[in-house]
Amino acid sequence: MIQDSEWLKVESLDLDAQGVAHKEDGKVVFIEGALPGEEVQVSVGRKKNNWEQGTLTALRKESSQRVTPGCPHFGLHGGACGGCKMQHLHASAQVAVKQRVVEDNLWHLGKVKPETLLRPIEGPTWGYRYRARFSVRYVLKKEQVLIGFHERKSRYVADMQVCRVVPQRVSDLLMPLRALIASMEERDRLPQIELAMGDAVIALVLRNLNPLPEGDRAKLRAFAAEHDVQWWLQPKGPDTVHLLDEGGVQLSYSLPEFGVVMPFKPTDFTQVNPHINAVLVGRALRLLDVQPDERVIDWFCGLGNFTLPLATRAREVLGIEGSETLVQRSRENARGNGLAEKTRFEARNLFEMTPALLAADGVADKWLVDPPRDGAFALAKAVADIAQDPSLAPGWQPPKRIVYVSCNPSTLARDAGLLVNLAGYRCTAASAVNMFPHTSHVESIAVFEKA
Ligand SMILES: C[S@@+](CC[C@H](N)C(=O)[O-])C[C@H]1O[C@@H](n2cnc3c(N)ncnc32)[C@H](O)[C@@H]1O
Ligand code: SF4
């Protein structure tokens, strides 16, 4: 590291929550721990021709948005955990940064300017995370078990004694879990514990590389009884996940606004933040404004998180999803909620969409699109191709309205560019969704209307 004595004025924050400044010679500097508006000195770690990257070492003008981090393990303030990146920035300023990221991406990558910026969706900033994947390491030298997220920029597991982004009940389990694993015969062959919380159950999935001896199973049972958790074991891939002991309360979450209950398995995709999810589903449906005579397609439907609420409003909904397991779960959930007659589900790879395949899915009045980080390029491209050459799909009509929920603003922007600049849609609204407070993940929602 080289200490740079030049004072830099921080102009903005990048997606990794690094302050961005320019040196006198025009070089861009990315500064860990620095916030917009601050004047800082930097210890430079990496140098390239036109940029440098370093860490804040001195501060002579502090941002009014700077706050004391809420977690002792926060990596930029002496802690080691790399799980959060923005705890030093006031929660509402984090949302403003994310809103700006959505706008900037739409404009710079998609040449799209939303007609309206909606108020970002916000929820609790602590204790929100109902899913987490904790690494487990038995450190032989110290005869100690660590359970936590990775340290910043490292493969090591952080020595995490509490965690403020998971619910308090889960944070309180971290030290007892360490003691439990340390006491087990298989302690050095248990690399991961995955958390999946439902409305009424804390499910913990223990990855076990070897079959567990009866003594270890008895210890898990005693822990479950004492701490009111449900153990699942995962001997191999996600499909091998099973309950340690059959029975007990079923893992599920509910969407009360729509009277829907969604049972799930702990390794199924479910949204990380159930508080935001409930608001997000409500907002998506209001933005879609589905009418009782309308047909809707829910692309990348997962276990039916949007499909079933949509089916409470629409004439019929088609849900399409890549995972057979999730399609199966969607069907069961539709049956369980009395919505089987209005829904149909299909397992398909949506990265391979073509105009002909799109036409075969039929005309729908509205679409909900909620892809993984890679986005929905093939889908947006097929719509754009048909708009350019309608003979590719004779008789097919594009949906009047699309609500696109995204976990990656750059792929949203790319797809929005296709819809707006080639397929004749207007982007009528967009906003950030603060699904992951204190991290740099940006969730967002955008509305496209056929012009
Ligand atoms: C962001 S999740 C959304 C799921 C659901 N809408 C929800 O809210 O729970 C994205 C979904 O896309 C699915 N997926 C990933 N790649 C896919 C592909 N190539 N084709 C179809 N679905 C895919 C995943 O299995 C996952 O369920
Ligand atoms: S992930 Fe948890 S332990 Fe790590 S910094 Fe964030 S709140 Fe603290």
Chain center to CA of 203:
19
Distance 373 CA to ligand 1 centre (A): 9
List the residue whose alpha carbon is closest to atom 3 of ligand 2: 163
With a CB cutoff of 8 Å and minimum separation 6, the contacts of 406 are 370, 371, 375, 412, 443, 444, 445, 446
Question: Average of pLDDT values for 175-203?
Answer: 97
Would 83 be classed as within a structural domain? no
Do 411 and 298 have their domain in common?
yes
Do 227 and 259 have their domain in common?
no
C-alpha–C-alpha distance, residues 337 and 307, integer Å: 12
C-alpha–C-alpha distance, residues 208 and 219, integer Å: 14
124-138, 149-163, 183-197, 393-407, range with the lowest pLDDT? 149-163
Do 429 and 285 have their domain in common?
yes
Do 19 and 152 have their domain in common?
no
Residue 78 reports pLDDT greater than 70: no
List the residue whose alpha carbon is closest to atom 11 of ligand 1: 300
Give the H/E segment covering residue 366.
Answer: strand 366-369
73-82, 168-177, 358-367, range with the lowest pLDDT? 73-82
pLDDT tens digits along 90-139: 999 999 999 999 999 999 999 999 999 999 999 999 999 999 999 999 99
With a CB cutoff of 8 Å and minimum separation 6, the contacts of 100 are none
At residue 221, the pLDDT reads 98
Question: Average of pLDDT values for 12-26?
Answer: 90
List the residue whose alpha carbon is closest to atom 1 of ligand 2: 83
Q: What is the mean pLDDT of the chain?
A: 95
Would 438 be classed as within a structural domain? yes
Instruction: Among 183, 210, 243, give the residue marking a domain's end.
Output: 243
At residue 189, the pLDDT reads 97
CATH number for position 225: 2.40.50.1070
Question: Average of pLDDT values for 392-401?
Answer: 97
At residue 45, the pLDDT reads 87
Distance 326 CA to ligand 1 centre (A): 9
pLDDT tens digits along 313-338: 999 999 999 999 999 999 999 999 99
At residue 15, the pLDDT reads 77
Do 41 and 179 have their domain in common?
no
CATH number for position 30: 2.40.50.140
Would 74 be classed as within a structural domain? no
Q: Is 451 exposed, middle or buried (0-12, 13-18, 19+ CB in 10 A)?
A: exposed
Do 116 and 135 have their domain in common?
no
List the residue whose alpha carbon is closest to atom 5 of ligand 2: 74
At residue 17, the pLDDT reads 86
Residue whose CB lies within 8 A of the most ligand 2 atoms, among 76, 84, 146, 171, for a mutation test: 84
Give the position, in ligand 2's atom list, of the atom nearest the Cα of 84.
Answer: 6
Would 284 be classed as within a structural domain? yes
| Higher per-residue confidence, 296 vs 46 | 296
At residue 153, the pLDDT reads 80
| Binding region for [4Fe-4S] cluster | 71, 81, 84, 163
Do 303 and 238 have their domain in common?
no
Distance 163 CA to ligand 2 centre (A): 5
Strand order in the sheet with 401-406: 116-117, 425-433, 443-450, 401-406, 366-369, 295-299, 316-321, 343-347
Return the ligand number nearest the Cα of 86: 2
Q: Which two tokens stand for residue 182?
A: 């340390």
pLDDT level of residue 380 (50, 70, 90 thresholds): very high
Q: Is 261 helix (H, G, I), strand (E, B) or coil?
A: strand
Would 81 be classed as within a structural domain? no
Residue 60 reports pLDDT greater than 90: yes
Segments in 74-199 forming alpha helices (H):
91-110, 168-171, 174-183
Residue 77 reports pLDDT greater than 70: no
Residue 339 reports pLDDT greater than 70: yes
Do 283 and 222 have their domain in common?
no
Residue 275 reports pLDDT greater than 70: yes
Would 193 be classed as within a structural domain? yes
Distance 134 CA to ligand 2 centre (A): 11
At residue 5, the pLDDT reads 75
Q: Is 345 exposed, middle or buried (0-12, 13-18, 19+ CB in 10 A)?
A: buried
Do 111 and 187 have their domain in common?
no
* Neighbouring-strand partners of residue 197: 202
At residue 1, the pLDDT reads 63
The fraction of the chain above a pLDDT of 90, given in percent, is 90
What residue numbers bound the domain in which 7 lies?
2-66
In which region does residue 110 sit, left (phi positive, over 0), alpha (psi from -120 to 50) or beta (all else)? alpha
Residue whose CB lies within 8 A of the most ligand 1 atoms, among 268, 269, 303, for a mutation test: 269
Q: Considering 21, 233, 407, 419, which one is annotated as catalytic?
A: 407
Do 118 and 17 have their domain in common?
no
Return the ligand number nearest the Cα of 320: 1
Q: Could you confirm whether 407 is annotated as catalytic?
A: yes
Would 224 be classed as within a structural domain? yes
HEC assignment per residue over 22-38: ECCCCCEEEEECCCCCC
Do 315 and 443 have their domain in common?
yes
Flag whether the ipTM exceeds 0.90: yes
Q: Which residue has the tokens 């070897």?
A: 210
Torsion angle, CA of 70/71/72/75, rounded to 10 degrees?
Answer: -110
At residue 361, the pLDDT reads 97
CATH number for position 118: 3.40.50.150
* Neighbouring-strand partners of residue 443: 433
C-alpha–C-alpha distance, residues 65 and 88, integer Å: 8
pLDDT level of residue 282 (50, 70, 90 thresholds): very high
Q: How many domains does the chain have?
A: 3
Report yes or no: 281 and 255 within 8 Å, Cβ to Cβ.
Answer: yes
C-alpha–C-alpha distance, residues 180 and 214, integer Å: 15
Do 146 and 215 have their domain in common?
yes
Residue 54 reports pLDDT greater than 70: yes
Would 25 be classed as within a structural domain? yes
pLDDT tens digits along 422-446: 999 999 999 999 999 999 999 999 9
